[in-house]
Amino acid sequence: MIMHIHPVLLCGGSGTRLWPLSRQSYPKQFSRLIGDESLFQQAARRLCGPGYAAPVVVTGNDFRFIVTEQLAAVEIAPQAILIEPDGRNTAPAVLAAALVLAQSNADALMLVAPSDHVVPDAQAFRAAVAAAVPRARAGDLVTFGIVPTRPETGYGYLELAADGRIDADDPQRLARFVEKPDAERAAAMVAAGNFLWNAGIFLFTARTLIDAFRAHAPDILAPVETSVAEATTDLGFTRFAPEPWARVPSNSIDYAIMEKASNLAVMPYRAGWSDLGGWEAVWQETGPDGAGNVCSEHATAIDCEGSLLRSESERIELVGIGLKDIVAIATADAVLVAPKSESQRVKEAVTALQLADRRQATTFPIDHRPWGWFESLAIGPRFQVKRIVVHPGAALSLQSHHHRSEHWIVVEGTAKVTIDGETRLVTENQSVYVPLGSIHRMENPGKVAMVLIEVQTGSYLGEDDITRYEDVYARGQGAKG
């Protein structure tokens, strides 16, 4: 049976719970936390195939090219990429997607899912979605509840109605949403046998959701409708209008709609799920060995038990000796060490670093751009050394700097370099100098990635010292545009 389900992938978030690997500039959904693909790529694969339309992705401006690059890598073409002017929680994001889908089909079935969850059995999940379709088509707001495997204080819960069964193979009546409990309350709810974890996954028609906002959250509906109606497009992205979006109240879909609506149903799901809400969850989902350890490629455990040792840099070998129930995560610029039981407190570390004005709090050492990426190798008072990787066929903007000059040394591939109107090819082991104030551009005309070392010198080396004159990615001005 053709279901024509439209996946809506929510792809925002600050990524603080899995710091230092996940940060505001590169949150966890884009990282390869488990397996060879990112969580976002896994989610896109999970929600494709017969009966599924191409995905709709709701994301922020800074992530739009990461989204397109990662989808292209798994050969999935999106139906639409919707850009929020700023994050306003899940209610406006989901409503905006519904309004966009309703423009062509008000009865379009929407499957709304976060893009940073782990669902090991994609076939079982799609079967659960298929079982929920009739209720969604009939006008219900269907949420998905995970059959709990333990008392968990990190999740909200869903209480079934008196006649509901958590072992059912079809949607059940939902009594209420329950906030994240303390340990005693969580144990009691799991023992009661009629509570599910709230997965934050929903199935409904666009019409049903819009009607729910009209009834329960008109203060959100009005400005979102205006923002969608006044949306603009560039390079295939749909940008919601910022002025009306600024008037949208920040609210979750649970608070705005689900806790008020009466046409609710919940589909029990028991084939494995995790929101990877902390490093202990990563340890559990990755599959500990016989001693309970999980080690990455550049990590070694000696006489350790129940520990997660993970190095994200090939230049850092992480070694643990005699550790028990410890999480140790090393990146190129930060290290986290904590008892596994305390790993949920990572947000406190991020807050402390923000108060100390440390860039590691929010900024990843590798900075992804639409043309490729770069990382800083060395920084001094008046110099910075970067490694820059440019994708085949990609080009940086035509630009100039007020405070720095640059020296480029090509180490792999060939660069096409334009400086003050003169263009030349620079091959491996060749270099070129870009004087302060010169209008310049770098391109990769080849079929393989081009790698160069950039040495910056000057009085100010910030990424916002850039004036763009032309840009194939329509980024405007600013560090990322």
Domains, the chain: 6-269 (3.90.550.10), 279-356 (no CATH), 366-470 (2.60.120.10)
Distance CA 382, CA 405 (A): 11
Find residue 195's DSSP bridge partners.
159
How large is the C-alpha radius of gyration of the chain? 24
The per-residue pLDDT for 478 is 66
Find residue 308's DSSP bridge partners.
294, 327
Using alpha carbons only, give the angle 205, 207, 211 rounded to the nearest 5 degrees: 120
**20: preceding bond cis by omega (within 30 degrees):** yes
The per-residue pLDDT for 235 is 85
Low-confidence ranges of the chain (pLDDT < 50): 1-2
- Strand pairing category for 308-311 and 326-330: parallel
The per-residue pLDDT for 80 is 97
The per-residue pLDDT for 1 is 38
- Strand pairing category for 450-458 and 404-412: antiparallel
Distance CA 287, CA 267 (A): 27
Residues 393-412 as b/e (b if ≥16 CB within 10 A, e otherwise) read ebbbbbbbbeebebebbbee
Q: Which of 86, 70, 14, 468 is nearest to 239 (CA)?
A: 86
What are the structure tokens assigned to 410, written together? Answer: 């090509």
The per-residue pLDDT for 13 is 74
Give 381-413 pLDDT, tens digit per residue. Answer: 999 999 999 999 999 999 999 999 999 999 999
185 contact partners, CB below 8 Å, separation of at least 6: none
The per-residue pLDDT for 479 is 67
Is residue 401 a contact partner of residue 456, using CB atoms and an 8 Å limit?
A: no
